[in-house]
Structure 1
Amino acid sequence: MNSLYPCLWFDGQAEIAAKYYCSIFPNSKITSENPMVVRFELNGFQFMGLNGGPQYQFSPANSYVIECETQEEIDFYWEKLGSNGTYSQCGWLTDQFGVSWQIVPAVLGKLMTDPEKAPRVMQAFMQMTKFDIETLMNV
């Protein structure tokens, strides 16, 4: 277990959110729960969900990045996390609980370091909502 982990503040939906996230990510589970706090792991990383009330809301200022090796992975997380949420530009989405996610191709960093290709890649992905790896590779 990691000793540094995020605490996600929910308005009474911590357990529902934890179960939802655990159903999406591999190697995930709820590790403990009580009426106030749910601790869970997503793909081996520890999280805490707090039923803190309506005082605070999530914002895109704090987001979680999922680097995907394949288009199938991008499509999977895009569909699962985005259902009942909202989609934004450049691979960003907000899920049904208000948590922001960036669903990005792992190859993007490499493409952006190629001085010849980087401007075209950037121009292409700025027009995208969900990333399309094939388009980025072929610009």
Structure 2
Amino acid sequence: MQNLTVNLWMQGNAEEAGDFYAAALPEARSEVESRYPTEGLLDFQKPFAGEALTVSVWVRGTKITLINAGNEFDPNPSISIILNFRASERELLDSTWAALSDGGQVMMPLQQYPFSEHYGWVTDRFGVSWQLMESAQEIQPGAQVLPSLMFCGQAQNRAAEALEFYSDVFGAKVHMQVPYGQANEVVHAESIMFSQFSLGEDVLSAMDSGVSQPFTFTPGVSLQWDCEGQAEIDRLWDALSAVPEAEACGWLSDKFGVSWQIVPANMDELMKRPHAFQHMLGMKKLVIDEF
């Protein structure tokens, strides 16, 4: 069961982006999951009255959520999405690359690297970063589509610390951790070149950037965690939230700057209650009984 969802901040074009990803990504589909109410909105939300609020995209069974909002934030490569392909799927990898790179920006060209026979990193036309990788080994369940956290900017060289922290908070299990082994002007020898870990059944990757980057984590890409009840919401909120001014409507920023949305697992049901959207706007930590 998927507990972790990557949420992507879209600047008023979530439905357009959903249609794009449904066509560009392997085994993908999209649908509008929720809409803004037509009344009770804050002033800055009024232009979205009746418009899509969240658009869900499923890629090979993994859900990604597009949040329709303003121009306050946009995605950046500090959190990208890795798409793993089998060697027999190179034609599919190439067609996906062609679609994502059309109107986008190539960060690492699609070619052979020491870690993959066929790999590339691209930021698409909506600012979302994707790593397409051909794997010579069997791809474990949950690892076909996985978020990748790049610790850079103010979070540079904190990937190992984050792995330990997420292990304490979520019970994360680290499956692979490869250090750079040699320092340069940005990384230490023990900085993480690549790691893979799991939060329950959800698989993620983390690394320290090997070069200086002009960006770091922002709400442009956030990680949503679905909680079974108020006790889990309370525990995770207390453990994760490190920036009081970032707390709003279930959103928080942890000590590394990573944005999380800590929400009830039955959020869709709660949002159908009368005036639920207005109630949510008044909360920082979500309280189930207050919807």
TM-score (normalizing by structure 2): 0.42
% identical equivalent positions: 35
- Is 2:153 the partner of 1:8? no
* Aligned position for 2:253: 94
* Aligned position for 1:124: 279
Any stretches of 5+ residues in structure 1 without a counterpart?
none
Higher helix share: 1
CA displacement, residues 24-78 of structure 1 (integer Å, 9 cap, x when unaligned): 114x211111221222111122111111054130110101111122110110110
TM-score (normalizing by structure 1): 0.85
**Secondary structure, in 3 states, of the residue corresponding to 2:237?**
helix
Higher strand share: 2
* Aligned position for 1:17: 162
1:1-139 superposed matches below 5 A: 1=140, 2-10=143-151, 11-26=156-171, 28-35=172-179, 36-52=193-209, 53-55=211-213, 56-82=215-241, 84-86=242-244, 87-114=246-273, 117=274, 120-136=275-291
Task: Tell me the distance in 2 between the aligned counterparts of 1:54 and 1:128.
Answer: 37
CA contact (8 A) 1:64 1:101 kept: yes
Higher relative contact order (CA 8 A, sep 6+): 1
Any stretches of 5+ residues in structure 2 without a counterpart?
1-139, 180-192
**Secondary structure, in 3 states, of the residue corresponding to 2:249?**
coil
Query: Aligned in 2, Cα 1:46/1:107: closer, same or farther, shift over 3 Å?
Result: closer
